[in-house]
Structure 1
Amino acid sequence: MININEVYETNKMIEQENLDVRTITLGISLLDCADNNLDELNRKIYDKITTVAKNLVATGKSIEREYGIPIVNKRISVTPIALIGASSCKCPEDYVKIAETLDRAAQTVGVNFIGGYSALVSKGMTESDENLIRSIPQALAITERVCSSVNVGSTKTGINMDAVKLLGEIILETAERTKERDSLGCAKLVVFCNAPDDNPFMAGAFHGVTEADAIINVGVSGPGVVKTALQEIRGADFETLCETIKKTAFKITRVGQLVAQEASKRMNIPFGIIDLSLAPTPAVGDSIAEIFEEMGLEYAGAPGTTAALALLNDQVKKGGVMASSYVGGLSGAFIPVSEDQGMINAVSAGALTLEKLEAMTCVCSVGLDMIAIPGDTKATTISGIIADEMAIGMVNQKTTAARLIPVIGKTVGDRAEFGGLLGYAPVMPVNQFSCDAFINRGGRIPAPIHSFKN
């Protein structure tokens, strides 16, 4: 049992070290909404979301008041829409109508994001999948709260290179349609390998088909708490470093467990998982990069950064699984550039490059996240970067993702402004050598030999 004394123990973390519950995400299955008639489908989707989630925001606020725990976001994830719209959507424009319905439902219940405008195409694309993917630029341009993701690879199936090629083009089109806002639409689009069914974090959240009809997932974050704990053992050996991170992660996860259990009880919806991901914000002191600096690196990106991140990720997970029996989602350390002031500083100083970030994704919990690149980057180059990131996930049996933002009208050294938790980012240089012939081959990269587990 979790009691109020454990919350009091974390009071200093909340008040002084930026500890928060980053999100309560309510997963909702829309499988029972499927219909041959598009208007009827949209009605069912709107009615179900607004019924199941009607008390989500109020519940989050009541828990905040009662326990003094900041809950930054209340969000919804839904069944991948490419599955739900397969019978009624005959063209990309039909899917855009569903995106508008999702946006309207999210606005009605008061959540800041709704995820699940998604397709799962790791081995191949149905006509419905392709129609949804082709609808993404328009859908993200005309909605405020809708987030999109496409899973293009897995360790069991390999990488769908046809989908990777298409998404390079889709990302550029999304950037162009939202160029007046520094191509903000791309910040709401994630390309995955090995996407989990229970991730509460946007923009990649969707409600997997293996999940219950509705589920509560909670994402907790606390890089500032970890940094402060490490300041107290500055210069200590690696054993002490690891123990400190692990114990801190335990305490953070217990806060999330409390919130998840309370939300589950008050809404009468089962608790799913705690995602213990050290997700930074632009706030000073709430940075993964500053943890690296406290470990002894001049900047994120310096030699030793990948080792430091591997250590951090592992100890966070070890502490988390001792605190909760249901740790899931992505759980680890996020390394987005735009959302982390320390990462921004490292890029600006020349310490952190795209290639070093790619190396770090071998050991972090996601991948190339919120990376601003020049707006004139070719679609095939974007596809090549995605393919590299998907290969890391496929071979290493882990989730990887790419959230790339080609900022139309801006080039290396310019600054892209996204606002809010998304922050801002310096536009990073991209390797200019061509991968056109490789990307244009078409087909599928097969699964690695160690995928055979039967």
Structure 2
Amino acid sequence: MYNDIGDILETISMIRDKNLDVRTTTMGISLLDCADSDIDRSCEKIYEKICRKAEHLVETGEKITGKYGIPIVNKRVSVTPIAMLAGVSGGDPVKYARTLDRAAHTVGIDFIGGYSALVQKGFSAGDRELIESIPQALAETQLVCSSVNIGSTKAGINMDAVALMGRQIQKAALLTKDNQCMGAAKLVVFCNAVEDNPFMAGAFHGVGEADSVLSVGVSGPGVVRSVLHDLPDDAPLNEVAETIKKTAFKITRVGQLVGSEAAAALGVPFGIVDLSLAPTPAIGDSVARILEEIGLEQCGTHGTTAALAMLNDAVKKGGVMASSSVGGLSGAFIPVSEDEGMIAAARSGNLVLEKLEAMTAVCSVGLDMIVIPGDTTPETISAIIADEAAIGMVNSKTTAVRVIPAIGLKSGEELNFGGLLGYGPVMDLKNPSPAKMIRRGGRIPAPLQSLKN
């Protein structure tokens, strides 16, 4: 992996002083062979398979951390979209959520993803029932995460699903209002969802994947910021980009090492390294602070989108040279509540929802962990989803929305989730209603650029 003692010492410094970590090792597990016309039998098969496949996932991660000194922050599991099994079995889909939660607790992981449905072109058997059950499922479980894909470049945007998800996000927040509205924090709505994403809440195990795989998501915003801090203030932007690229290469090599070794130990194929720079609320672990190191007085000001575009591109260029298995989302996340620099910019009023939306056109994913007023209407939430999905659809990229209606709170107040999910100010939204458009339903047709065959 490394050619000389200098590389080894540099990596030790990245881990010790600059918050370098492997954010997650995620085992993807196919549950297609657990489908059964009897939902109780299906749940028994699911529990047995997850416990068997992921039995040593946490232990393996701890051994690798002990061997190399590389922190692995989360150990997670993603599974086949549960709507596919619900379409076979019928019955109350919440039973599946309880089973996933029980299995996750048994194997000791941090989260399990895949309480999901893919409805970009319409609802098949099990889809609507699962989506209707999401608020209750997330309220009754601790570790289950949910996602719904409502659009794609090939299919367009399913506006009936968009309208439904606005209501479900509001319900998820209401049912968990006494727990920081955590239900909405574990629910993400995608356009162009990928099948090999190791990050929550959007992870699910795609049907094109092997029976089980091991993927990793790296981190390292603090490392990137540190190397940029050492550059002269008058260094040209092409030199800044080159520095980021070289740093991303080193970060990705760490992820490649951890993923390959963990997969071998668990006896499953190595899936992908997701290059996404994933921040935390900790000081020194912020994507926003990277943008400020590039030369912005504060994230959110004019120039932010250009700086983020350069950062995202440089991270990908460096990462693909370090691993032949790059996948997932791969870029820079901008979750407001999980990034102390984003939190500061939102508090000051420099970072607003419209600027965040513009930034999502050039970064990884989209409007992530944004706290909105608790009295926001479902139609407004749906319109936010539709806007973000349109960016993804037209630009052939993954976009997503994870917004949290803070029940009982208004603009300027704050919601605190704790842990990696952090805390964030309630952000202002536009007042005019989009309800008439959302109530039309139907489908926004796929754009012309979808015709690439």
Q: Secondary structure at the match of 1:333?
A: coil
Q: How far off its partner does 1:110 sit?
A: 0.3
> What is the CA–CA distance in structure 2 between the aligned matches of 1:286 and 1:200, rounded to whole Å?
20
Q: Secondary structure at the match of 1:380?
A: helix
Match of 1:113 among 111, 132, 138: 111
> What is the CA–CA distance in structure 2 between the aligned matches of 1:431 and 1:398, rounded to whole Å?
26
Alpha carbon RMSD of aligned pairs, Å? Answer: 1.0
Counterpart of 2:60 in structure 1 is: 59
Deviations 1:16-67 (A, max 9, x none): 0000000000000000000001110000000000000000000000000000
> What is the CA–CA distance in structure 2 between the aligned matches of 1:127 and 1:323, rounded to whole Å?
42
Distance 1:2 1:43, change over 3 A: farther
Counterpart of 1:20 in structure 2 is: 21
1:49 maps to 2:29:
no
Deviations 1:99-150 (A, max 9, x none): 0000000000000100000000000012410000000000000100000000
Q: Secondary structure at the match of 1:278?
A: coil
> What is the CA–CA distance in structure 1 between the aligned matches of 2:39 and 2:438, rounded to whole Å?
35
Amino acid at match of 1:257: Q
> What is the CA–CA distance in structure 2 between the aligned matches of 1:3 and 1:103, rounded to whole Å?
43
Amino acid at match of 1:282: P
Matches within 5 A, 1:37-436: 37-90=38-91, 94-235=92-233, 236-436=235-435
Q: Secondary structure at the match of 1:273?
A: strand
Runs of 4+ in 1 over 4 A off after TM superposition: 1-8
The unaligned stretches of length 5 or more in structure 1 are: none
Q: How far off its partner does 1:8 sit?
A: 4.4
Counterpart of 2:450 in structure 1 is: 451
Counterpart of 2:440 in structure 1 is: 441
Deviations 1:273-298 (A, max 9, x none): 00011010000000011001111101
**TM-score (normalised: structure 1):** 0.98
> What is the CA–CA distance in structure 2 between the aligned matches of 1:169 and 1:334, rounded to whole Å?
26
Percent of paired sites with the same residue: 66
> What is the CA–CA distance in structure 2 between the aligned matches of 1:117 and 1:233, rounded to whole Å?
45
Q: Secondary structure at the match of 1:329?
A: coil
Q: Secondary structure at the match of 2:75?
A: strand
Q: Bigger shift: 317-326 or 178-187? A: 178-187
- Contact between 1:117 and 1:149, CA under 8 Å: does it hold in 2? yes
> What is the CA–CA distance in structure 1 between the aligned matches of 2:102 and 2:182, rounded to whole Å?
19
- Contact between 1:2 and 1:258, CA under 8 Å: does it hold in 2? no
Amino acid at match of 2:167: E
> What is the CA–CA distance in structure 2 between the aligned matches of 1:240 and 1:38, rounded to whole Å?
58
Amino acid at match of 1:392: I
- Contact between 1:121 and 1:160, CA under 8 Å: does it hold in 2? yes
> What is the CA–CA distance in structure 2 between the aligned matches of 1:7 and 1:282, rounded to whole Å?
28
> What is the CA–CA distance in structure 2 between the aligned matches of 1:3 and 1:424, rounded to whole Å?
41
- Contact between 2:85 and 2:126, CA under 8 Å: does it hold in 1? no
Q: How many residues align?
A: 451
Q: How far off its partner does 1:3 sit?
A: 7.5
> What is the CA–CA distance in structure 2 between the aligned matches of 1:227 and 1:368, rounded to whole Å?
22
Distance 1:3 1:131, change over 3 A: farther
> What is the CA–CA distance in structure 2 between the aligned matches of 1:2 and 1:58, rounded to whole Å?
26
Q: Secondary structure at the match of 1:298?
A: coil
> What is the CA–CA distance in structure 1 between the aligned matches of 2:119 and 2:2, rounded to whole Å?
41
Q: Secondary structure at the match of 2:89?
A: coil
